[in-house]
């Protein structure tokens, strides 16, 4: 129905006539310097290098310096992505940062990142979609470029999970690491980002969660009887529930995402699942019946689970190590706290 208002006709607003195509033009990654071994993790939990490797595939992870922020890490990854995209930072119209570990409730981290990169006046905002944050960002960037809102979007997945991990929690202390991955999405002559399949299960908020809301910490902070001993809001998870959900439901989402892109798994040049846990990846490969010729991201072994950063970090590693071809097709799928998920097939830069 045409909108009307009393007395005066409603003018037609400017709107793009045709949709464009978008693709990832460049990827970048940053891993903090400090390598943390399983032995170091086991100083605080009753566990062993063997158990951690066998149950998660993690051999080492990286922890940022105490003074190193998510914006510092995002900046390093972004500079590489922008450089590889072959564009000037001034061409970027929007900055999207996917993170759940920026320690300020407000302001968002993205405006500061845009400023540091010398991007004049970009639209800049953060999104909170946990380990699926990067794939949510890619979907938004694709739509923004296709609709003509902007020509280039910088999408960053970055986490400093070491700040939010309880090093005494046996169920999560060995999983998480720190890092950043970034992508520049821009205009393309052919489709470079397939349809996104995404969703959420809002009745499963307790499966992966921050242990206490910030509001519960405030009375503790103001209570003198705590003598400065304040519980820190670490992330906790129900490991087995995450495992079952990822393997059964996410494998089906991955299968549907490939079909939605109009291809088969045989056409893939890489499978880049969120680096949650090596056993989850192995189970997904089986459920997908992934052909043996498709290389699979296994960055988790050396980088741990870096939540929103894990997919761009893993994909850039595969490209750098020539494990996957530039211009090839990759299936990427992120899933995590919410519970939320997002997946798409992309043309690798």
List residues near ligand COA by CB under 6 A.
45, 47, 51, 55-56, 131, 170-171, 174-175, 208, 237, 239-240, 242-243, 276-277, 279-280, 305, 336
Q: ω into residue 49 within 30 of 0, thus cis?
A: no
Q: How far, in Å, are 2, 5, 11, 13, 253 from residue 8 at the CA level?
A: 13, 6, 9, 15, 48
Neighbours of 59 (CB within 10 A): 17
CB of 255 to ligand COA, least distance (A): 20
Tell me which of 135, 152, 274, 277 is the catalytic residue.
274
Give the residue among 23, 154, 148 at the shortest CA–CA distance from 94.
154
What is the rounded CA–CA span in Å between residue 296 and residue 277? Answer: 13
Measured from the CB atom, the residue of 32 and 334 that comes closer to ligand COA is: 334
CB of 284 to ligand COA, least distance (A): 12
Q: 278-288 vs 251-260: helix axis angle to the nearest 10?
A: 50
Measured from the CB atom, the residue of 242 and 346 that comes closer to ligand COA is: 242
∠ CA 116-181-148, rounded to 5°: 70
Tell me which of 131, 136, 142, 277 is the catalytic residue.
131
What is the rounded CA–CA span in Å between residue 205 and residue 328? Answer: 36
Residue appearing with tokens 């990832």: 24
Measured from the CB atom, the residue of 237 and 272 that comes closer to ligand COA is: 237
Measured from the CB atom, the residue of 132 and 180 that comes closer to ligand COA is: 132
CB of 243 to ligand COA, least distance (A): 4
Measured from the CB atom, the residue of 242 and 268 that comes closer to ligand COA is: 242
Measured from the CB atom, the residue of 148 and 233 that comes closer to ligand COA is: 233
CB of 42 to ligand COA, least distance (A): 8
Query: Among this protein's residues, is 131 annotated catalytic?
Result: yes
What is the rounded CA–CA span in Å between residue 275 and residue 58? Answer: 10
What is the rounded CA–CA span in Å between residue 94 and residue 227? Answer: 45
Query: Among this protein's residues, is 277 annotated catalytic?
Result: no
Chain centroid to Cα 329, Å, comes to 19
Backbone angles phi, psi at 21, to 5 degrees: -105, 160
Residue appearing with tokens 């052919």: 190
Tell me which of 38, 142, 277, 305 is the catalytic residue.
305
What is the rounded CA–CA span in Å between residue 69 and residue 345? Answer: 31
Query: Among this protein's residues, is 274 annotated catalytic?
Result: yes
**How would you classify the pairing of strands 94-98 and 123-127?**
parallel
Residue-wise DSSP of 93-118 = -EEEEE-S--S-SSS-SHHHHHHHTT
CB of 245 to ligand COA, least distance (A): 9
Give the residue among 173, 175, 154, 194 at the shortest CA–CA distance from 71.
154
Measured from the CB atom, the residue of 150 and 271 that comes closer to ligand COA is: 271
CB of 184 to ligand COA, least distance (A): 26
Q: Looking at residue 193, what DSSP letter applies?
A: B
CB of 130 to ligand COA, least distance (A): 7
Residue closest to ligand COA (Cβ): 239
Give me the active site residues, please: 131, 274, 305
């Amino acid at each position: 129905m045409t909108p009307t208002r009393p007395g005066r006709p409603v003018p037609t607003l400017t709107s793009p006539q045709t949709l464009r195509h978008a693709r990832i033009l460049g990827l970048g990654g940053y891993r903090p310097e400090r390598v943390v071994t399983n032995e170091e993790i086991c100083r605080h939990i009753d566990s062993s290098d063997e158990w951690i490797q066998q149950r998660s595939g993690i051999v080492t992870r990286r922890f940022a310096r105490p003074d190193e922020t998510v914006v510092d890490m995002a900046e390093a990854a972004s500079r590489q992505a922008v450089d590889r995209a072959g564009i000037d930072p001034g061409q970027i119209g929007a900055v999207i940062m996917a993170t759940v570990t920026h320690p300020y409730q407000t302001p968002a981290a993205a405006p500061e990142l845009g400023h540091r990169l010398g991007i004049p006046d970009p639209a800049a905002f953060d999104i909170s979609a946990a380990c699926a944050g990067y794939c949510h960002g890619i979907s938004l960037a694709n739509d923004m470029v296709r609709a003509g809102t902007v020509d280039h979007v910088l999408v960053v997945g970055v986490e400093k999970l070491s700040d939010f991990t309880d090093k005494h929690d046996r169920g999560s202390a060995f999983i998480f690491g720190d890092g950043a991955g970034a992508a520049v999405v821009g205009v393309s002559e052919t489709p470079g980002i397939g349809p996104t399949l995404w969703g959420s299960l809002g009745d499963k908020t307790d499966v992966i969660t921050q242990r206490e809301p910030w509001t519960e910490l405030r009375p503790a902070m103001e209570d003198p009887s705590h003598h400065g001993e304040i519980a820190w809001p670490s992330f906790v998870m129900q490991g087995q529930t995450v495992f079952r959900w990822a393997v059964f439901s996410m494998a089906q989402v991955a299968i549907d995402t490939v079909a939605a892109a109009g291809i088969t798994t045989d056409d893939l040049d890489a499978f880049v699942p969120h680096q949650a846990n090596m056993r989850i990846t192995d189970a997904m490969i089986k459920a997908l019946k992934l052909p043996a010729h498709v290389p699979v991201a296994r960055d988790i072994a050396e980088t741990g689970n870096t939540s929103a950063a894990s997919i761009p970090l893993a994909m850039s590693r595969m490209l750098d190590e020539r494990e996957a071809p530039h211009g090839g097709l990759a299936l990427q799928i992120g899933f995590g706290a919410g519970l939320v998920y997002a997946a798409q097939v992309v043309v690798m830069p």
